[in-house]
Amino acid sequence: MEPGETVEEAVRREAREETGLDILLIKLVGVYSSPDRDPRGHVVSVSYLAWGRGELAAGSDATSAEVFPLEALPPLAFDHALIVRDGLEKL
């Protein structure tokens, strides 16, 4: 997040910067804050279900951006499989 920015503004900005997509936030999935969820340090993630529009393209922090069917997801880092599962339950 940037100073003066809401979580929702940060989510929309980061999605645009990292995927090239403009997103419409639908529903909060959850806040993930376990101190040991990322071996690089204590990181908090706020996850939303969202609709995306635009052309998918990797941004500054990503080497690629791809869409996968749920039944063929690649291995996910850290607790991201839990976040996906939680998101599916919210649908």
Give the predicted TM-score (pTM) of the model.
0.87
Backbone angles phi, psi at 42, to 5 degrees: -75, 115
The residue to which tokens 């922090």 are assigned: 61
Nearest Cα residue to 49 out of 19, 11, 17: 11
List, in order of start, the domains of the chain with CATH numbers. 7-90 (3.90.79.10)
The one-letter code for the residue type at 12 is: R
The answer for residues whose C-beta is within 8 angstroms of residue 85's C-beta and 6 or more apart is none
- pLDDT tens digits for range 2-47: 999 999 999 999 999 999 999 999 999 999 999 999 989 999 999 9
Angle made by CA atoms 29, 35, 2, in degrees to the nearest 5: 65
pLDDT digits 0-9 by tens, 39-80? 899 999 999 999 999 999 998 787 889 999 999 999 999 999
Instruction: Output the furthest CA–CA distance in the chain (Å, rounded).
Output: 39
H helices of the chain, in order, are 7-19, 80-90
pLDDT reported for residue 60: 78
